[in-house]
Chains A and B, each alone.
Chain A
Amino acid sequence: MSEISYLTEGIFRSDILAEVAGQPHLVGSRCACCGDLRFPRAVGCPACHAPADQLQPALLSPLGRVVTATRIERAIAPFKPPYLLAYVQLQEGPRVLCQLLAETRKPREVIGKACELVVDKLYEKAGVAVSGYKFRVQA
């Protein structure tokens, strides 16, 4: 996919995924009151209970590390198995649930590895490719 395209509906809005200087970034939230950082963005601060208007968009680092991963072999349509699903720990702290792009299908070979945010096709619906964030495991 040569260009990043944001959907106007659904979850891949620009308040979740943004492009800065050609590089995709996840967008979380930072609480103006207490600094609590979250992904996905909070709708009320879980640390200090500040309301949504105190939660500012926060661009997150595209770099992380795979904490754990599982190989899904039985999926719910429209997802097509097998694929690796993982928790990636971002440099700033939040853990992101995401699919992985990797040379291997073995979870043990990606756990602990560094990875980088990419935008890739997640599934097709009614013939239309729906893209979203994934992380590519570095060799």
Chain B
Amino acid sequence: MNVAVLGVGQVAFTGPSNTPMGDLAGGAARAALADANIAASAIQMAAVGSVYEHPSVGQRVLLRLGLNGIPLANLENACASGTSAAIEAMRWIQSGEADVALVVGVDKMASYFSSGPIALVDETDIFGAQGLTVPAYFGLIAELHMAEFGSTREDFARISHKNRGYAAHNPYARFQSAPSFEEILASPIIASPIGKFDCCANGDGAAALVLASESYAMRHGGSRAVWIRTAELGGGVLGDRLFDDPMTGLAKKAYERAGLGPQDIQVVECHDNFSVGEFEAYERMGFCAHGEAHLYLRAGKSQIGGKGAAFNPSGGLLGRSHPAGATGCVQIASIVQQLRGEAGTLQHPGAKAGLVQTSGGGVMELQSNATTVMILTV
């Protein structure tokens, strides 16, 4: 059964801020309710995604909306927490347990962490004890691609340049100005070939969605509804990601279930926590052949108005910054705006089908903690 996205909302993502978590999440939720043009009292179920907030984050968010007593699921799936919360709410609606659900993603990672690589758990972690950092993991993937297929550091810089450029036109993105291509290339190396601007920054922020059953959506503003055609959630898979990633199998399953292929998708929000994350997504989800991501990129196919699918038109994690729990929800919100034709200067022409991919990691023995792929259409 198709589930509708009736409303989307977010607050501006920022660096470290004094704004309480509840104000961020409550603001995003109220914006989504206003966008859906429904009252908070219509919400029958809520799912809230966060990674670093304190326990019972959802209960504290719902208090801000004057909502109590409804079923509530708190979801933590690393960086895929927001999309995992959306999938949980979608399943409640598909099962008939709820007609209308609120999804909220929130985190204050900029406030809770200093800048620089995030420390792995502790030195009993066998990978952490070798000096592994998260950017290094993406450096290993990028160096292999460069050696095998002839991609270059400039290719990764092209992605950072593209996404930071889009973010400068997204008033909700943390980064409102874009570095030049030369500045990106001149930035210090973190883990070769990854430079500073190839890494997303932590952010404070929240985003929210209102989901509804098909019958409810048709009774309430169905003309603006965007439909979730399918959403796949994968758990941790043991192994490294050099030659495989869960997103490949999940995208294949999503394409089969939606009856669509990558050639039918015009807009993508994917997990560009590092520029390499978007680069590998071109290949791993079938937008180009294996070993040709740099050719897809150099031909401008992943740009707004390009001949492929526009990737991360809202600026991606590189431009918006990354409040982990909020990221999945804001990715979905961006695709909804694109499919409605309401993305303003960032609109990709003719967007009728979109894809959201989120990867959450942290347990370094696993390819990812959790991966999600969602396909939406008008």
Report whether chain A binds chain B: yes
In the complex, chain A residues 82-126 whose Cβ is within 8 Å of any chain B Cβ: 83, 85-87, 95, 97-99, 107-108, 111-112, 122-123
Q: Which residues of A contact B189 (CB under 8 A)?
A: 71, 73-74
In the complex, chain B residues 183-219 whose Cβ is within 8 Å of any chain A Cβ: 188-192, 194
* Chain B, residue nearest A38 (CB): B238
Q: Which residues of B contact A73 (CB under 8 A)?
A: 188-192
Are B130 and A99 in contact, with the CB atoms below 8 A?
A: yes
Are A85 and B144 in contact, with the CB atoms below 8 A?
A: no
Quick check: is B146 within 8 A (CB to CB) of the other chain?
Answer: yes
Residues of B at under 8 Å CB distance from A? 116-117, 119-120, 123-127, 129-133, 135-136, 139-144, 146-147, 188-192, 194, 238, 240, 242, 364-365
Q: Which residues of A contact B190 (CB under 8 A)?
A: 72-74
Are B120 and A70 in contact, with the CB atoms below 8 A?
A: no
Known contacts A11-B124, A70-B192, A99-B130; 9 further A-B pairs (Cβ under 8 A): A11-B125, A11-B126, A40-B126, A68-B140, A68-B242, A73-B190, A76-B133, A85-B131, A132-B130
With known contacts A11-B124, A74-B190, A111-B144, A46–B129 Cβ distance under 8 A: no
Partner of B129, one of A10, A72, A75, A87: A10
Partner of B240, one of A75, A95, A107: A95
Are B242 and A95 in contact, with the CB atoms below 8 A?
A: yes
Q: Which residues of A contact B126 (CB under 8 A)?
A: 11, 16, 40
In the assembled complex, 21 residue pairs joining A and B whose CB atoms fall closer than 8 Å, in A order, are A11-B125, A68-B141, A68-B143, A68-B147, A70-B136, A70-B139, A70-B140, A70-B143, A71-B139, A71-B189, A72-B136, A72-B191, A72-B192, A73-B188, A73-B191, A76-B120, A76-B131, A85-B139, A87-B242, A97-B130, A122-B130
Partner of B147, one of A11, A83, A111, A132: A111
Q: Which residues of A contact B135 (CB under 8 A)?
A: 74
- Minimum CB–CB distance from B275 to chain A (whole Å) comes to 14
Are B140 and A69 in contact, with the CB atoms below 8 A?
A: yes
Q: Which residues of B contact A75 (CB under 8 A)?
A: 117, 131, 133
Q: Which residues of A contact B141 (CB under 8 A)?
A: 68
* Chain B, residue nearest A89 (CB): B242
Contact with B along A1-26 (1 / 0, CB 8 A): 00000000011100010000000000
Quick check: is A67 within 8 A (CB to CB) of the other chain?
Answer: yes
Rounded to whole angstroms, the CA-CA distance of A72 and B136 in the bound complex is 7
Q: Closest 9 A-B residue pairs measured CB to CB?
A: A70-B139, A68-B144, A79-B131, A71-B192, A74-B190, A46-B238, A107-B143, A73-B189, A111-B147
With known contacts A68-B140, A73-B190, A122–B129 Cβ distance under 8 A: yes
Rounded to whole angstroms, the CA-CA distance of A68 and B144 in the bound complex is 5
* A74, A86, A132 interface centre (most CB from chain B within 10 Å): A74
Are A74 and B143 in contact, with the CB atoms below 8 A?
A: no
* Chain B, residue nearest A39 (CB): B126
- Minimum CB–CB distance from B112 to chain A (whole Å) comes to 17
Q: Which residues of A contact B131 (CB under 8 A)?
A: 72, 75-76, 79, 83, 85, 99, 122-123
With known contacts A71-B189, A85-B136, A107-B192, A98–B143 Cβ distance under 8 A: no
Q: Which residues of A contact B123 (CB under 8 A)?
A: 10-11
Q: Which residues of A contact B129 (CB under 8 A)?
A: 10-12, 122, 132
Q: Which residues of B contact A97 (CB under 8 A)?
A: 127, 130, 132, 240, 364
Rounded to whole angstroms, the CA-CA distance of A97 and B64 in the bound complex is 46
Q: Which residues of B contact A71 (CB under 8 A)?
A: 139, 189, 191-192
Q: Which residues of B contact A86 (CB under 8 A)?
A: 140
Rounded to whole angstroms, the CA-CA distance of A23 and B32 in the bound complex is 63
Rounded to whole angstroms, the CA-CA distance of A111 and B123 in the bound complex is 27
- Minimum CB–CB distance from B374 to chain A (whole Å) comes to 27
Q: Which residues of A contact B143 (CB under 8 A)?
A: 68-70, 107-108, 111
Rounded to whole angstroms, the CA-CA distance of A75 and B364 in the bound complex is 16
Q: Which residues of B contact A99 (CB under 8 A)?
A: 130-131
Rounded to whole angstroms, the CA-CA distance of A111 and B135 in the bound complex is 19
Q: Which residues of B contact A67 (CB under 8 A)?
A: 144, 242
Rounded to whole angstroms, the CA-CA distance of A86 and B132 in the bound complex is 10
Rounded to whole angstroms, the CA-CA distance of A16 and B130 in the bound complex is 13
Are B130 and A85 in contact, with the CB atoms below 8 A?
A: yes
Rounded to whole angstroms, the CA-CA distance of A83 and B132 in the bound complex is 11
Q: Which residues of B contact A83 (CB under 8 A)?
A: 131
Rounded to whole angstroms, the CA-CA distance of A40 and B141 in the bound complex is 20
* Chain A, residue nearest B116 (CB): A74
Rounded to whole angstroms, the CA-CA distance of A107 and B116 in the bound complex is 22
- Minimum CB–CB distance from A69 to chain B (whole Å) comes to 6
* B130, B194, B365 interface centre (most CB from chain A within 10 Å): B130
In the complex, chain A residues 17-56 whose Cβ is within 8 Å of any chain B Cβ: 40, 42, 46
With known contacts A11-B124, A122-B129, A74–B117 Cβ distance under 8 A: yes
